[in-house]
Structure 1
C-alpha cells in the first residue's frame, strides 16, 4: 500500500474471513470427499444447456453489474448494454444508485447514446427532448398541452430491482429477486474497503470460451504455480487452501503458512499480505483482493462459447503522484494484461477448443479442484425444475 493511505481507516476482517484464515493457520482446511469428481463437457459445449443457464441464472438471479466506484459522485449516468438489454446506471442527486432500462417512455428511443459516463443532472431524449431526472422521474416534455391529461408520474423510466452494498451495484431482471445473499456476502467486501474505493482502470475483454471455464480458473489453486509460472506463480506455493460458501456464493483463501506466525489475522491489511482470497459470486462475478488493490471481474456470457469480461481495478484512493500512478499501472498490467488476459482467459479459450473436439467427454477433477465441482453442482441445482 502506498504511503498516502496511512490516514485511511483500519479495516477488520469479518468473522467468516477470520474463520478461513484460522483454518489455514491451524493447517486444517476443509477436506474434500476424498474422491475424483467428474463434470460433463456438455456443460461447457452444449448451446441448449447454455440457454437454460441464461434463462434461469441470468434472467432471474441478482447479479453484479459494476463497482460503485464506476459512478463515484452524484449526478452521473452510464449506459450498459453487455447483459443483453439496454441498461442505464445512474447516481441521483441524493447519491442513490439506480438501474433503469435505457429507453425513453415516449416512443421507445434509446435515451443515452454511446457508452461513456455522463455527468448531468438530467437526461434528455435526443428524439423529442423528453427530460428525466437521474432518479427516473419524467421532469418535462416539449408542448405538454399536446398530451392532455397526461400524468408525468406515470411515465418515469422503467427501473429494475437493484442493490448497492459492499462497493458493488447489483441488479436483477426479475421483479421478485431476493437480494439477501448479496447483502450477506457484501459484508466481506466492505471489510476490504470497497465501499470507498477509487476506480483506477477498467477494460472489457472478449473471451472465446464458456463463462464457466473462466470461473473455474478462480475456483482452484492447482494451476497457479504452473500456468502463472512467469507472473504471479513465484509468490505462491502449493500451500494450504480453505473454502466455504455464503449462500450460493463461493469464498476461498490460499495462505502462506510459514508467514502466519504472530500475524493479527483480524487486521485486514496484515492478513491480505499472507492470504489471498477469491470470491465467485453466482452467477458470474469473480473478485480477487490483492494485498493493496481489488480486481472485480464481471462475466457477461454472449453465447455458449463467447464471454465478455469487464475487469475493474479498485484501489483505496486516487493516486496523486507520478510514482503512485506508476505503481498502480504496473500492478494493472501484471494482472489484467498478464495473469488474466494472457494466461487465465487464454486457458479458457484453449479449453473450449479442446472440449468442442469431443476428445474429453467429461472433466476429471482432483482433490485440489473441488471448488469447480461444487460450483457446477450449484449451477445444476438452480437449473432443476422447481
Structure 2
C-alpha cells in the first residue's frame, strides 16, 4: 500500500528542526514495525496499473451518496489544543451543521448544536475561542452551561410547565482521543477504530501540544482529490521540487491500516540505522508518520511539530481544508518564533496551501471538463485505489 511523503522531514537531516525538550516517549509496536520496514529498505508498491472513472470525482450524485459517510462516521473537528482552557467555546461550521465546541469546568470537551432551544438563534459567531462560563443567547438571553445545560431563562414564569432539564443544547456524540476531538451526527456512530489509534497519538504527546496557528483553505476541488495527495509519494519529487522534495527519497514509503485508517511512514534508511527505535523523539528525526483518518482527515507528524488537515466537503467541486499546526510549547524566544513561522510558511503557505491544494484544483478542472473518462494509477499510487475501494465498501453497507 503506497502512502504519503508529503511533510517536511528527513532525508539527510530534518529541515531546521530545533532541539525542543520533548517528553521521552516510546513508539507503539505498529509505529516501530513501519520504521523497521523502512530501515530494511522496503517499499510498498502495487502490483500493476489501476483505473478509476473520472466521474468518481465529478458526479453530483456520487458526491451526494458520499456525504452519508460524513453524517454516519465520526469526523475530526479540532485538536484538543484549540480549547486549552476550561469553560471555553468556539463555533464550527465546516461540516454544514452549526456546531459549538466547548470545554466544561471539569475539563471535558463537548460538541453541541450552536442553536438556542428557544427560537433557534445562533449563540456564538466567529471563529475565535471565547470564554463560556455562561453561553448567553443574544436574542432573549437564555443561558447555558458549557456542557449544554439550560441554566437560565428570563421571565421563566412565561413558560408554564416548561421542563428546563429536558431542553439543554443538543449534544452530539463526541470523543476526545489522543489529543483530537471527534464528533458524529449519527447517535450510533462507532468510535472504536479511532480509539485503537490513541496509543499512537499518545506516543506523539498530541494531547499536550500547543496550537501555533490554524487556517481554513477554500479549495476548488473534490474532497477526494485532496486526500489522494496524501496517499501516494509519486508526486513529491515533481510537485514539491521547490519546497520539500529534497527531504525525501523518491517513493520509499511503507504503510498499514488500523481499521479503515491508513498509517504510513517515510524516511531514510541511513538515518534509521543511527536512530533509537525505542525513543520517539529520535525516531521522528528519521521518519515522518502520516495518518489518513477515514474518510477525510490527515495527521502529518514532522520532527518537532504536527499538522492536522481536516477536509470538509461543501459541494462536489469545493472543499474547505482547515490546517492546524501543533508545536511543543508557545514560542519562548525570537529564534523559536522565527523557526515556527518558517515551518508554517513552508507547509501551509507552500507545500500544502499552494502545491497540494493547487494541484487538486487543477485536477478537478481537467476532470470536470470531461476531457478524460478514466484516471490511471501507477504502482506508487495504489494507496489511492485502496482508499476508493474502502469508500465503495462503506457506501455499500
TM norm structure 1: 0.96
Partner of 1:10: 24
Pair 1:28-2:55 in alignment:
no
Structure 1 residues 223 and 293 mapped into 2: Cα distance closer, same or farther (>3 Å)?
Answer: same
Partner of 1:49: 62
Distance in 2, matches of 1:143 and 1:225, equals: 66
- Offset from partner CA, 1:101-140 (integer Å, 9 cap, x none): 1011111111222332111311000111111100110111
Distance in 1, matches of 2:162 and 2:230, equals: 52
Deviation, structure 1 residue 218: 0.5
Deviation, structure 1 residue 30: 4.1
Secondary structure at 1:269 match in 2: helix
- Offset from partner CA, 1:1-58 (integer Å, 9 cap, x none): 545x32x4212111111111111112234453x111111111101111000000x211
Deviation, structure 1 residue 358: 1.9
Pick from 363, 366, 372: which aligns with 2:378?
366
Is contact 2:27-2:200 (8 Å) kept? yes
Partner of 1:135: 147
Pair 1:40-2:85 in alignment:
no
Further displaced range: 271-280 or 308-317: 271-280
Distance in 2, matches of 1:169 and 1:214, equals: 21
Partner of 1:117: 129
Is contact 1:240-1:257 (8 Å) kept? no
Distance in 2, matches of 1:20 and 1:183, equals: 20
Pick from 303, 315, 323: which aligns with 1:311?
323
Is contact 2:49-2:377 (8 Å) kept? yes
Pair 1:187-2:193 in alignment:
no
Distance in 2, matches of 1:241 and 1:314, equals: 24
Further displaced range: 188-197 or 85-94: 188-197
Structure 1 residues 271 and 326 mapped into 2: Cα distance closer, same or farther (>3 Å)?
Answer: same
**1:1-386 superposed matches below 5 A:** 2-3=18-19, 5-6=20-21, 8-32=22-46, 34-54=47-67, 56-238=68-250, 240-384=252-396, 386=397
Further displaced range: 265-274 or 373-382: 265-274
Is contact 1:239-1:255 (8 Å) kept? no
Structure 1 residues 374 and 239 mapped into 2: Cα distance closer, same or farther (>3 Å)?
Answer: closer
Secondary structure at 2:72 match in 1: coil
Secondary structure at 2:123 match in 1: coil
Further displaced range: 184-193 or 336-345: 184-193
Further displaced range: 160-169 or 360-369: 360-369
Further displaced range: 259-268 or 282-291: 259-268
Distance in 1, matches of 2:85 and 2:340, equals: 22
Q: Unpaired segments of 5 or more residues in structure 1?
A: none
- The number of equivalent residue pairs is 381
TM norm structure 2: 0.94
Partner of 2:5: none
Say which structure, 1 or 2, has more relative contact order (CA 8 Å, 6+ apart): 2
Is contact 2:275-2:282 (8 Å) kept? yes
Distance in 2, matches of 1:16 and 1:41, equals: 35
Secondary structure at 2:225 match in 1: helix
Distance in 1, matches of 2:55 and 2:181, equals: 32
Deviation, structure 1 residue 333: 0.3
Secondary structure at 2:348 match in 1: helix
Partner of 2:6: none
Is contact 1:293-1:315 (8 Å) kept? yes
